[in-house]
């Protein structure tokens, strides 16, 4: 190309940075190679536009440098799209995000693969920008989005982990929850907060452990007759150390996600990893590590891996295809033993040769070791000790000076379904490194924390995304402290009259089960057996039995009840015109209700709850299903205290897992509350109401009924939304509660 | 009004030897129980060979066998007998239990817990020292034939908690416990019963074992020997091995997607 032509193009680009000047030759040559003449015009126009935004030379130079490549991958329309986007971003306070945007674009376009996808991606970014750019005085958007530059910096990583849809969900979540909190927003979008990582994990592509937990459990149990826990670890946030699977007495550690690889699906990769570990657990014996040099140990581990795989294949030959697909195939002369340490390469070749009959390796030491190995294994599967012998002789024969080099060759040697074999070794000599001291201290601390029940985590429904927030709420369960038994007895004495009336009513209660009554003179159906018998009696001259009908009636009760009490701060209020606080009235009501249910002989439990943010929902066990209404329970009722807020959904979820376990036909959860669900860490009034509704829906989908008794006069606004029509009662006159509650229960269950 | 036509006891005789592989000492135990005419209860998971064992023993002892499959709607008269109407008035028809007691057969009540508890009570007088069966409607007391013996089968565990035998019924029987045969034995059973080679039989048993380990973890009952024989039979008819396993071993026992997936994988990795 002549200098005159270049000058012509240079004239089209209206930008005078010195740095651009220096490289323009190269840029334009690249552009001419990749773009049509129209494209070159657009390209230069776009660059001029970016130059005009006044963000220095850097965005322009990235544009000039990267666009020809991007156009090659996508098409020329992208030129204008990018320049327009950058232009419109420069019209907002978010100019500082333009350089990161330009930097992430090449990688993003490579991942996304089509102009359409890039457009979608830009739409997500622009939407996020709009939502997080806030104004202080309400006039103009004036504060740049705090999260946007962070998001753009993370983009290449994010796109490697999630699909565009996943990215969109993840961004939406961050915007919604941290839109008004700049520092937390930054943490979220730079993948620093636990929340952000958990959400990303949910959106990941590939096979997630959490979706297949049960299946993998079954796999281990059915095919390996092994029982152990799985502990997933995350690969995403630890790219340097790259954790590998292993197991110890606490469980089997496996990655939380596997993508499909080499034609083996994620779930099959999980199964391979588990099969390998299970095979070790079945066939590997421990060795004393101190007896071997590090190289010997590596070799022993490799051979032992091969041995257990060999045994595994005898049992499950169908796995061979997958093993071959997943095992790396090192090329024989790939490793230069002059410059790098080839020990791993050699061992990987050996391991491949054992697995793959078609390995085609020529190295006589490897062939020799394979022969020895196969001889040993053909004899009843050999033993770990025999592997030690082969490994030591292999290492001795193939040892090279360069094995000691720090420059170890790792390429093509990592077998990713294998564990790190730490279980194989026992160390006799304890080392005296300083870390040991720390370890001990940490252990002691951890043990201390285990005092009391560990929290249970429950998801919470977020109506805005129509999805659950994973493990959002921590519920701590404890037995309610005890007080004086006499209080409850006094309550029962006080209401002796009421109790008498209740008793009469209870006697009249209709039982629940459906049974057949035979031998009825009048009934709903003819009982054929009896009818024929009567006819025969009649024909043969005997006195026929006239009771030839049958009837159906109700008999017996088969109900489990869970009484869930809201113990929030507002219970301490004394309602207008009353003398007792709501708490005291509730105590009376619950005592009477318990007495009533006890009379009916139904199976019931009582629990209370309150919450202090999502991190601390307290669930108090007052009476369990197997406990009687005795002094222990009475003393717990009398010690009831009110405090904090009402996070009802999680309490319902926790209570439901007890109720669900009851083996009765009908299961009822009674919820006694004095106000709407709320908590101090939630601003959106609707949020906890919708979550509670979801919890109630979950109850009914599991075949349990719920009923709410609300003492909130204003409950009509929301309570029907939660419990549905007919699923609640509002008691206006709180003083009547002790009387109404048992009656209500009796009518509900009759 | 007794049965006038001569009764054909041969129809209840078993002419050909039913194939049965001895698992332990159950044959000699049963023979001892029979020689004293003690009632026997056989327990064990479904499809492990309970009914086959009884058939085999009836053949071995040369006694007729009357089998009754019990169900919820069965009444006492279904066992004992009833009057039927005919043109001349009424006619008495013996039930299977009565017939067995008259002709000296082994009466085998299969899945006895399925019958209602009030029904099972009619067997009580036959199962103790009295060995009689009162037919109250007919006004007859049948003395059991000296060869008569009562056997019930019973599958503890998987049925609902409501269905269990009364102690008073249970304690009238001697019990034999059955379980799936040992691997080696099961392989040879399948080879003989379905006429299949040893390698395939071993693999089939391996799949069954995988499923049996899931009992109580989503499966009510493992893959029974009977189902393995079905699978082998399908293979004999030229069905692809994996497809036969999926059809005979996996689909019948569960609707749980996770279990289906796990067992399909087991089939895949065992048959390669």
Query: What residues of chain B lie within 8 A of the CB of A545, using their CB?
Result: none
Residue B197 placed within a domain: yes
Taking the C-alpha atoms of residue A171 and residue A482, their distance in angstroms, rounded to an integer, is: 48
Is the same domain home to B94 and B221? Answer: no
Phi and psi (nearest 5°) for A474? Answer: -105, 120
Report all structural domains of chain A as residue ranges with CATH numbers, in order of start: 3-203 (no CATH), 207-426 (no CATH), 485-507+558-748 (3.40.50.410), 518-555 (no CATH)
Q: Where on the phi/psi map is residue B160: left (φ > 0), alpha (ψ -120 to 50), or beta?
A: beta
- Cβ separation B89–A539 shorter than 8 A: yes
**Confidence band, pLDDT 50/70/90 cuts, at residue A575:** confident
pLDDT tens-place string over residues B82-125: 888 777 777 888 999 999 999 999 999 998 888 877 788 889 99
Is the same domain home to B42 and B147? Answer: yes
Taking the C-alpha atoms of residue A191 and residue A196, their distance in angstroms, rounded to an integer, is: 6
Residue B4 placed within a domain: no
DSSP summary character for residue B221: S
Flag whether residue A223 sits within 8 Å of chain B, measured between CB atoms.
yes
Taking the C-alpha atoms of residue A212 and residue A274, their distance in angstroms, rounded to an integer, is: 13
Residue of A nearest to B160 (CA): A663
- Cβ separation B85–A218 shorter than 8 A: no
> pTM score, two decimals?
0.64
| % of chain B residues with pLDDT over 90 | 56
Would you call A527 helix, strand, or coil by DSSP? coil
Is the same domain home to B187 and B208? Answer: yes
pLDDT tens-place string over residues B168-223: 888 899 999 998 999 999 999 999 999 999 999 999 999 999 999 888 787 878 89
Domain boundary among B177, B209, B235: B177
Residue B2 placed within a domain: no
Taking the C-alpha atoms of residue A630 and residue B95, their distance in angstroms, rounded to an integer, is: 55
Taking the C-alpha atoms of residue B177 and residue A713, their distance in angstroms, rounded to an integer, is: 65
Flag whether residue A210 sits within 8 Å of chain B, measured between CB atoms.
no
- Cβ separation A218–B206 shorter than 8 A: no
- Cβ separation B85–A221 shorter than 8 A: no
To the nearest whole angstrom, how far is the Cα of A228 from the nearest Cα of chain B?
Answer: 14
Mean pLDDT value across residues B1-18: 74
Domain boundary among B147, B177, B207: B177
CB-based burial label for B76 (10 Å; 0-12, 13-18, 19+): buried
- For residue A270, give the nearest of A308, A218, A317 by alpha carbon: A218
Flag whether residue B139 sits within 8 Å of chain A, measured between CB atoms.
no
3-state SS, A9-44, equals HHHHCCCCCHHHHHHHHHHHHHHHHHCCHHHHHHHH
Residue B3 placed within a domain: no
* First vs last C-alpha separation in chain B: 67
Is the same domain home to B125 and B50? Answer: yes
- Cβ separation B262–A529 shorter than 8 A: no
Instruction: Report how far apart, in Å, the C-alpha atoms of A342 and of each of A215, A349, A387, A407, A641 are.
Output: 39, 11, 21, 9, 70
Q: Cβ neighbours of residue B219 under 8 Å, at least 6 residues apart?
A: B211, B253, B254, B256, B259
Taking the C-alpha atoms of residue B102 and residue B11, their distance in angstroms, rounded to an integer, is: 15
Max avg pLDDT among A230-244, A490-504, A596-610: A596-610
- Cβ separation A222–B272 shorter than 8 A: no
Per-residue pLDDT, A271: 93
Taking the C-alpha atoms of residue A244 and residue A235, their distance in angstroms, rounded to an integer, is: 9
- Cβ separation A316–B269 shorter than 8 A: yes
Tokens describing residue A658: 């007890």
Q: Lowest-pLDDT range, A203-207, A283-287, A610-614? A: A203-207
Is the same domain home to B13 and B142? Answer: yes
The residue of B253, B265, B266 whose CB has the most chain A CBs within 10 angstroms, and thus the best one to mutate to test that interface, is: B265
Quote the number of domains for chain B: 2
Per-residue pLDDT, B1: 40
Residue B207 placed within a domain: yes
Residue B242 placed within a domain: yes
- Cβ separation B214–A318 shorter than 8 A: no
Taking the C-alpha atoms of residue B236 and residue A544, their distance in angstroms, rounded to an integer, is: 60
The mean pLDDT value of chain A amounts to 84
The residue of A212, A222, A519 whose CB has the most chain B CBs within 10 angstroms, and thus the best one to mutate to test that interface, is: A222
Is the same domain home to B49 and B138? Answer: yes
**Confidence band, pLDDT 50/70/90 cuts, at residue B2:** very low
pLDDT at A52 over 80: yes
Residue B56 placed within a domain: yes
- For residue B163, give the nearest of B208, B215, B228, B119 by alpha carbon: B119
Residue in the structure block whose two tokens are 């009336």: A501
Taking the C-alpha atoms of residue A614 and residue A617, their distance in angstroms, rounded to an integer, is: 6
pLDDT at A574 over 90: no
CB pairs under 8 A between A and B: 67
To the nearest whole angstrom, how far is the Cα of B119 from the nearest Cα of chain A?
Answer: 14
- Cβ separation A221–B206 shorter than 8 A: no
When CB atoms are compared, the residue of A222, A267, A317 closest to B266 is A222
Flag whether residue B80 sits within 8 Å of chain A, measured between CB atoms.
no
When CB atoms are compared, the residue of A215, A223, A536 closest to B85 is A536
Residue of A nearest to B73 (CA): A529
Taking the C-alpha atoms of residue B242 and residue B252, their distance in angstroms, rounded to an integer, is: 15
Q: Which domain holds residue B233?
A: 183-271
**Confidence band, pLDDT 50/70/90 cuts, at residue B162:** low
Taking the C-alpha atoms of residue B181 and residue B224, their distance in angstroms, rounded to an integer, is: 10
- Cβ separation A319–B269 shorter than 8 A: yes
Residue B93 placed within a domain: yes
Is the same domain home to B52 and B139? Answer: yes
| % of chain A residues with pLDDT over 70 | 93
Tokens describing residue B27: 């044959």
Flag whether residue B182 sits within 8 Å of chain A, measured between CB atoms.
no
Per-residue pLDDT, B105: 93
Query: What residues of chain A lie within 8 A of the CB of B262, using their CB?
Result: 215, 218-219, 222-223
Is the same domain home to B85 and B110? Answer: yes
Residue in the structure block whose two tokens are 């929850």: A177
Per-residue pLDDT, A514: 65
To the nearest whole angstrom, how far is the Cα of A218 from the nearest Cα of chain B?
Answer: 7
To the nearest whole angstrom, how far is the Cα of A295 from the nearest Cα of chain B?
Answer: 34
Per-residue pLDDT, A310: 92
Taking the C-alpha atoms of residue B124 and residue B107, their distance in angstroms, rounded to an integer, is: 14
Is the same domain home to B103 and B163? Answer: yes
To the nearest whole angstrom, how far is the Cα of A245 from the nearest Cα of chain B?
Answer: 21
Q: Cβ neighbours of residue A725 under 8 Å, at least 6 residues apart?
A: none
Most distant CA atoms of chain B, gap in Å? 69
Flag whether residue A681 sits within 8 Å of chain B, measured between CB atoms.
no
Per-residue pLDDT, A441: 53
To the nearest whole angstrom, how far is the Cα of A422 from the nearest Cα of chain B?
Answer: 27
Is the same domain home to B202 and B72? Answer: no
Is the same domain home to B119 and B90? Answer: yes
Report the helix count and the strand count for chain A, using DSSP H and E. Answer: 28, 18
When CB atoms are compared, the residue of B82, B161, B210 closest to A222 is B210
CATH of the domain at B38: 3.40.50.300
Mean pLDDT value across residues A67-85: 85
CB–CB of B120/B77 below 8 Å? no
pLDDT tens-place string over residues B78-87: 899 888 877 7
pLDDT at A438 over 60: no
Flag whether residue B132 sits within 8 Å of chain A, measured between CB atoms.
no
Is the same domain home to B193 and B159? Answer: no
Domain boundary among B177, B201, B228: B177
Flag whether residue B25 sits within 8 Å of chain A, measured between CB atoms.
no
- Cβ separation A218–B262 shorter than 8 A: yes
């Amino acid at each position: 190309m002549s200098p005159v032509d270049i000058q012509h193009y240079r004239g089209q680009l209206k930008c005078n940075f010195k740095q651009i000047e220096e490289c323009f030759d190269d840029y334009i040559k690249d552009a001419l190679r990749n773009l049509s003449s129209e494209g070159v015009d657009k390209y230069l126009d776009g660059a001029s536009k970016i130059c005009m935004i006044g963000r220095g030379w850097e965005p322009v130079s990235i544009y000039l440098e990267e666009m020809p490549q991007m156009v090659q991958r996508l098409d020329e329309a992208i030129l204008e799209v990018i320049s327009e986007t950058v232009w419109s971003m420069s019209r907002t306070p978010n100019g500082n995000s333009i350089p990161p945007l330009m930097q992430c674009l090449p990688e993003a376009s490579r991942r996304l693969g089509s102009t359409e996808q890039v457009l979608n991606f830009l739409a997500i970014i622009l939407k996020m920008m709009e939502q997080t750019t806030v104004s202080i005085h309400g006039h103009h958007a004036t504060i740049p989005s705090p999260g946007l530059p962070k998001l753009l910096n993370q983009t290449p990583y994010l796109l490697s982990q999630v699909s565009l849809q996943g990215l969109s969900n993840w961004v939406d979540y961050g915007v919604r929850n941290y839109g008004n909190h700049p520092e937390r927003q930054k943490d979220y979008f730079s993948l620093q907060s636990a929340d952000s990582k958990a959400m990303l994990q949910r959106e990941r592509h590939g096979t997630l452990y959490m979706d297949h937990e049960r299946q993998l459990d079954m796999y281990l149990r059915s095919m390996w007759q092994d029982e152990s826990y799985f502990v997933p670890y995350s690969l995403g946030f630890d790219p340097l150390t790259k954790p590998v699977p292993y197991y110890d007495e606490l469980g089997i550690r496996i990655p939380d996600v596997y993508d499909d690889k080499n034609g083996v699906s994620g779930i099959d990769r999980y199964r391979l990893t588990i099969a390998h570990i299970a095979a070790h657990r079945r066939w590997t014996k421990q060795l004393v590590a101190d007896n071997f040099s590090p190289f010997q140990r590596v070799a022993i581990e490799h051979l032992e891996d091969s041995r257990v795989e060999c045994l595994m294949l005898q049992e499950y030959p169908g796995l061979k295809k997958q093993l071959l697909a997943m095992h790396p195939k090192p090329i024989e002369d790939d490793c230069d033993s002059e410059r790098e340490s080839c020990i791993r390469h050699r061992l990987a070749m050996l391991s491949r040769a054992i697995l793959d009959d078609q390995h085609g390796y020529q190295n006589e030491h490897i062939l020799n070791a394979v022969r020895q190995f196969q001889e040993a294994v053909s004899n009843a599967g050999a033993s770990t000790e025999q592997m030690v012998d082969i490994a030591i002789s292999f290492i001795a024969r193939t040892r090279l000076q360069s094995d000691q080099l720090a420059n170890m060759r790792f390429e093509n040697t990592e077998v990713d379904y294998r564990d790190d074999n730490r279980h194989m070794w026992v160390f006799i000599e304890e080392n005296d490194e300083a870390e040991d001291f720390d370890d001990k201290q940490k252990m002691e601390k951890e043990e201390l924390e285990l005092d009391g029940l560990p929290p249970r985590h429950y998801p919470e429904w977020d109506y805005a995304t129509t999805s659950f927030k994973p493990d959002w709420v921590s519920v701590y369960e404890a037995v309610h402290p005890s007080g004086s038994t006499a209080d409850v007895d006094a309550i029962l004495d006080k209401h002796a009259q009421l109790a008498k009336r209740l008793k009469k009513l209870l006697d009249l209660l209709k039982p629940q089960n459906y049974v057949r009554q035979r031998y009825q003179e009048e009934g709903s159906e003819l009982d054929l057996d009896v009818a024929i018998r009567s006819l025969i009696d009649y024909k043969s001259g005997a006195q026929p039995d006239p009771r030839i009908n049958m009837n159906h009636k109700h008999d017996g009760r088969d109900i489990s009840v869970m009484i869930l009490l809201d113990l929030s701060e507002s219970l301490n209020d004394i309602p207008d015109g009353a003398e007792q606080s709501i708490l005291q009235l509730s105590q009376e009501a619950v005592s009477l209700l318990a007495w009533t249910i006890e009379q009916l002989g139904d199976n019931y439990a009582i629990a209370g709850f309150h919450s202090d943010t999502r991190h601390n929902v307290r669930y108090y066990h007052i009476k369990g299903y197997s406990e009687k209404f005795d002094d222990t329970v009475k003393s717990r009722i009398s010690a009831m205290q009110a405090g904090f807020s009402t996070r009802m959904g999680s309490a319902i979820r926790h209570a439901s897992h007890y109720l669900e376990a009851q083996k009765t036909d009908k299961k009822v959860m009674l919820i006694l509350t004095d106000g709407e669900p709320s908590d101090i860490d939630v601003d959106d009034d609707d949020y906890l109401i919708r979550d509670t509704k979801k919890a109630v829906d979950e109850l009914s989908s599991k075949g349990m009924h719920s009923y709410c008794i609300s003492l909130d006069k204003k409950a009509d606004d929301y309570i029907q939304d939660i419990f549905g029509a007919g699923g609640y009662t509002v008691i206006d006159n709180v003083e009547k509660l002790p009387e109404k509650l048992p009656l209500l229960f009796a009518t509900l269950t009759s | 009004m007794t049965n006038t036509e001569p009764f054909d006891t041969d129809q209840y005789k078993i002419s050909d030897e039913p194939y049965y592989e001895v698992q332990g000492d159950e044959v000699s135990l049963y023979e001892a129980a029979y020689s004293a005419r003690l009632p026997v209860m056989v327990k064990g998971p479904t499809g492990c060979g309970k009914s086959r064992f009884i058939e085999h023993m009836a053949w071995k002892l040369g006694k007729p066998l009357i089998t009754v499959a019990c169900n919820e709607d069965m009444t006492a008269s279904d066992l004992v007998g009833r009057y039927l109407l005919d043109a001349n008035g009424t006619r008495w028809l013996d039930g299977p239990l009565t017939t067995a007691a008259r002709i000296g057969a082994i009466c085998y009540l299969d899945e006895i817990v399925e019958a209602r508890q009030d029904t099972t009570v009619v067997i009580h007088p036959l199962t103790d020292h009295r060995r009689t069966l009162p037919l109250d409607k007919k006004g007859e007391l049948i003395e059991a034939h000296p060869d008569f013996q009562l056997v019930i089968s019973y599958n503890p565990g998987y049925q609902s908690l409501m269905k269990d035998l009364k102690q008073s019924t249970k304690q009238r029987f001697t019990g034999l416990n059955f379980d799936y045969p040992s691997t080696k034995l099961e392989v040879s059973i399948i080879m003989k019963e379905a006429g299949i080679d040893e390698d395939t039989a071993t693999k089939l048993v391996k799949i069954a074992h995988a499923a049996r380990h899931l009992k109580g973890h989503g499966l009510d009952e493992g893959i029974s020997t009977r189902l393995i024989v079905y699978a082998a039979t399908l293979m004999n008819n030229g069905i692809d091995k994996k497809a036969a396993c999926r059809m005979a071993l996996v689909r019948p026992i569960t609707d749980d997607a996770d279990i289906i997936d796990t067992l399909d994988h087991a089939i895949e990795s065992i048959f390669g």
